[in-house]
Structure 1
Amino acid sequence: MKIGDNKLFILSVCLNVVFLLLGTAFVIKKGGVSWVMSKVAPTAAEVQKPPYYFDKTSQFDILPQKEGAIVFVGDSLTDGVEWSELFANSNIINRGINKVTTQGILEMVSSIADDSPSKIFLMVGTNDLDQSVENETTKNNYKNIIEEIQKKSPATKIYIQSMLPINNELNGSKVSSETIVELNTYLKNLSSDYDNCEFIDLYPHFQVNGQMNTDYTNDGTHLNGQGYLLWKEQIQDFVNG
């Protein structure tokens, strides 16, 4: 290989590394550029749903149907504990998915409602904020989630649980406490617009000066055992009632 050809080859390799990330690859030759492969970039919804989402939803699809269950629905905070053991109640099932957004919940909630649960406890939205999803999109998704449940299973009691605070120093997130409080205020007002839907404000119990109390978290976002015990304490009357 001549020196000039070698330089072109190295340049081709370097540029392919960059452009493969964008979904396009090419080869540089003397006298021009040859395009050899391209693919369509993933949609925004696909980017928001990691492989774990599809792993979990496929598991949900094969599990036995359980009508009249109490279902916990949400992201990693919901996914992170064994609710049936925490409440010593075998009628509770967990439909939490790590990193899920409101869009992901909207796409799976119909199958949950098909089983006519007695109660649904919903908490989701942190990943929307982390991924800079437009607030209006998050709000509309919440409305559509509630309406989909009520269309499929009107007798199901829906509990909208407020988003929890985060601790910016621990997790490095730039999501502000004001943004979380604003969304929680919207959720409170939204819940009042629907029959058989109730808002549970968990936020004040977990925050200190707008930040997640470090007694309840190790990373600033997720809960430790004491955090889940506090969560249980705040909702146990709704679960058992």
Structure 2
Amino acid sequence: MSTYSIFALRVFSIALFLIFAGQDQLFGQQTRPGPPDPLRFEEEIAEFEAWDAKNTSPENALLFTGSSSIRFWNTADSFPGYSVINRGFGGSQISDMLHYYDQIIGRYSPSLIILYCGENDIASGKAIYHVFEDYLGLLEQINRDYPQTPVLFISIKASSSRLDQTERFAAFNRMVQAHSRTSRLLFYADLASPLSKNGRPDDSYYREDLLHLNDRGYELWNERFGAFLAQLEENGVFTLRRDE
């Protein structure tokens, strides 16, 4: 598989910005706000470190990381045929993932890295272009440490609690999806569309807060994502299924 170069990432970022720049109402403010304080996650990250200090992490695992959609996903039970590591922490933005990169990504040896990120960033008011730049920065770090490891992005979902952000979420998803076509190491899984009905979020898949998925929502994700994983494995993207 070919790697994705830092230069190519930046060129693609600029090209996408020029394509979408006319949609000012989607991009919001163009000044970059300072990142939120990553220390608000100290306790959650310390729990990851404590677990890792006492346990041996599986080699060639599926590594899930990102915000609450990953944190609340019972990935180990949902995909029993695979070795799984879940390093989601709720409310996180990509800047937090970069700050804690060594604790949530850099210390493992995954066969596939699965990302769900960007939703909280955009909902906080950040311009889509700036969020996409942060995403590229995360890919750059992953590429430096894991130049042959595929990375899969799960599309960020719309929800009734963030209905005003629907178009901005969709625009970000389109940017990431387009970028995923530039490398055989990058993949995009659309798990957002199945959660909508008649162009609006289907609340039956969400908890009472109308933000986080309920059991029914994750059952749908398990079905769709499980099929996607099986297809990737069949195509030789990764090999890690256990025999037991």
Q: What range is the shorter-chain TM-score in?
A: 0.7 to 0.9
TM-score (norm 1): 0.73
Q: Whole-Å Cα distance in 2 between the matches of residues 189 and 142 of structure 1?
A: 13
Q: Which has the higher strand share?
A: 1
Task: Name the counterpart of 1:94.
Answer: 86
TM-score (norm 2): 0.72
Number of residues of Structure 1 aligned to a counterpart in Structure 2:
193
Higher relative contact order (CA 8 A, sep 6+): 2
SS in 1 for 2:147: coil
Residue deviations 1:178-204, cap 9 Å, x none? 111111100101212233111111221
Structure 1 range deviating more: 207-216 or 96-105: 207-216
Task: Name the counterpart of 1:177.
Answer: 166
Q: Which amino acid aligns with 1:87?
A: F
Q: Whole-Å Cα distance in 1 between the matches of residues 60 and 169 of structure 2?
A: 32
Give yes or no for contact 2:65–2:114 (8 Å, CA) kept in 1: yes
Give yes or no for contact 2:123–2:165 (8 Å, CA) kept in 1: no
Runs of 4+ in structure 1 deviating by more than 6 angstroms, as ranges, are none
Task: Name the counterpart of 1:227.
Answer: 217
Residue deviations 1:64-90, cap 9 Å, x none? 452311111111111012210122246
Task: Name the counterpart of 1:146.
Answer: 139
Task: Name the counterpart of 2:28.
Answer: none
Q: Does 1:60 align with 2:60?
A: no
Runs of 5+ consecutive residues of structure 1 not aligned to the other structure:
1-42
Give yes or no for contact 1:101–1:124 (8 Å, CA) kept in 2: yes
How far the C-alpha of 1:239 sits from its partner, in A, is: 3.3
The aligned runs of 1:1-241 (5 Å cut-off) are 44-47=34-37, 49=38, 51=40, 53-62=41-50, 63=52, 64-66=55-57, 67-89=59-81, 91-111=83-103, 112-167=105-160, 171=161, 173=162, 175-218=164-207, 219-240=209-230, 241=233
Q: Which is greater in Rg? A: 1
The alignment's C-alpha RMSD in Å is 2.0
